[in-house]
Amino acid sequence: MECREAERNVQKYIQGKLSDRECAAFIDHIRHCSSCYDELETYFTIDYALRPGEEDTASKSFDMKRVIEANLADTEDKLRRARTAGRFMDVFMLVAEAGLVLTALCKFLPDTMSVVLARAAEFLAKYI
């Protein structure tokens, strides 16, 4: 991601309007570009100061580096969890599709498939 694009995405990041992919690219850029990090810090500080919260303003932390770092770490954590869930869904869909194919094969080739299924069951029992 170029600086110009990162600068355009600062507000969207703060508002949580970036897609997971954009967000990951944005954070990656911010982590390596002090100029864009400063830009984020400026807008984040304004947003943070004006954001209504349950806590009163006096007790809000104004150690902005720490607040932003916590926000970035939290967002990275969410992105990681979304990626893991996505991978799980891919595997789940693959298993579901394999199940459908096996079901169809069992219907049309019952004798061959009973042997194949027994082998598959042995394989699964060994590795799962």
Nearer to Zn ion, 3 or 96 (CB): 3
Transcribe 32-68 into DSSP letters. H-HHHHHHHHHHHHHHHHHS--SS-GGGS---HHHHH
The set of residues, in sequence order, having a beta carbon less than 8 Å from that of 81 and lying 6+ positions away, is none
**Closest by alpha carbon to 120, among 90, 99, 96?**
99
Q: Shortest Cβ distance from residue 11 to Zn ion (Å)?
A: 15
Query: Contacts with Zn ion in 8-67 (CB under 5 A)?
Result: 33, 36
Of 1-9, 67-75, 96-104, 118-126, the segment contacting Zn ion by CB under 5 A is 1-9
Nearer to Zn ion, 34 or 114 (CB): 34
Residues near Zn ion (CB under 5 A) are 3, 6, 33, 36
